[in-house]
Amino acid sequence: MRQMTPISYETVHRLRKGIANQLEVSSSDEVDVLGWMGRTALELVDLGFLFDPLIEDVPSAYEDALRALMPTVSRLVSFCLFSSFWSPLVSLQERYPALEQVVRKSFWLIPSPALQEKKRIINTMDETTRMIFAQKKNALRNHDSELKFMMEEGKDLMNVLLRANLMASEEDKMPEEELIAQMSYRHHLKCPGQNSASAVLAFRCSRRLRAEILEARAANGGHNIGYDDLEGLPYVDAVCQETLRLYPPVPIVTLQAMHDVTLPPLTGNNGSSVTSIPIPKGTTVATAIYSCNRNKAIWGETADSGSLSAVMEAKVPGVYSNL
């Protein structure tokens, strides 16, 4: 994170210039800050690729696909209730891997508008990710000095991952498909936060937040604040923690049990005691991070509204271990 701080500053400076340009040419003094924040969130994913220059409006099929993903998934909620109907196909695929392509193609033939839209979105994301990967790979193969320098010196997460994979031993190297999946998955995780996290613009705390940042910047001679100094700003840290708690970019995480397991005794929502909950191998378990982060038994009566002062006074053994 310390090495990637300059990338974030460069992106934010482009954002500032883009907003300034809009105000110069626009007859209105109003700015769609939410739209700008969504575009900026996409650029901060750190794949080492410029999706949006943030200087002007540039059409992007990839950005449009990311924006449409979560609304499309929400339309498939009722569709997923009937997942038991195709579970035999999934079991067949797991038993006979050679049938994977047949099962996958059969699944996408289901005449559901939302499902077909999701297919289009997935294809767009996959094509873009493969294009970025191929560009970086060809830079090394063709000895492209500029792109090779960007890969060798780039601090974005994708370049770090590629460099680590190149230096790894043969038995530890990840296959190309897994590297591509890592890139897609990282953007998939960022996708929910593109609009949700960027929408959290509380005017009640923005003035104090801005004042703390400007004071730290002035103390640094008017230059960008370094990573260590940013970490030491208490109000900035409190705003980040409360924002992530109240509006987690990924509200639900699903995991699959790799073997049979039994959960320890617990107390149910109705107050009754549950001695144990057996979870068979292969069971999908959903963890509602959003609900946990707003549990009044954990966070108190201000669980839904938030309390920056409480965060600043709390002593937590870890940066974000309580989220």
Is residue 158 a contact partner of residue 166, using CB atoms and an 8 Å limit?
A: no
Supply the Cα-derived Rg of the chain in whole angstroms. Answer: 23
Tens place of pLDDT per residue across the chain (323 aa): 677 787 788 888 888 888 888 888 888 888 887 778 777 777 776 555 666 666 666 667 777 887 788 788 778 776 666 665 666 766 777 777 777 777 777 777 778 888 889 888 888 888 888 887 887 777 766 655 555 555 555 556 667 777 777 777 888 888 888 877 777 766 555 555 445 544 454 566 788 899 999 999 999 999 999 988 988 899 998 888 888 888 887 778 888 888 999 988 888 778 888 888 899 988 888 888 888 888 888 888 888 887 777 777 766 555 455 55
- How far lies 214's CA from each of 19, 60, 192, 226, 308, in Å? 19, 34, 30, 13, 19
Is residue 293 a contact partner of residue 287, using CB atoms and an 8 Å limit?
A: no
Structural domain spans, the chain: 5-76+112-199, 247-313
- How far lies 38's CA from each of 63, 122, 192, 198, 219, in Å? 10, 20, 10, 6, 30
Buried b (16+ CB within 10 A) or exposed e, 92-116: ebeeeeeeeeebeeeeeeeeeebbe
Alpha-carbon gap, residue 75 to 119, rounded angstroms:
13
Burial of 52 (0-12, 13-18, 19+ CB in 10 A): buried
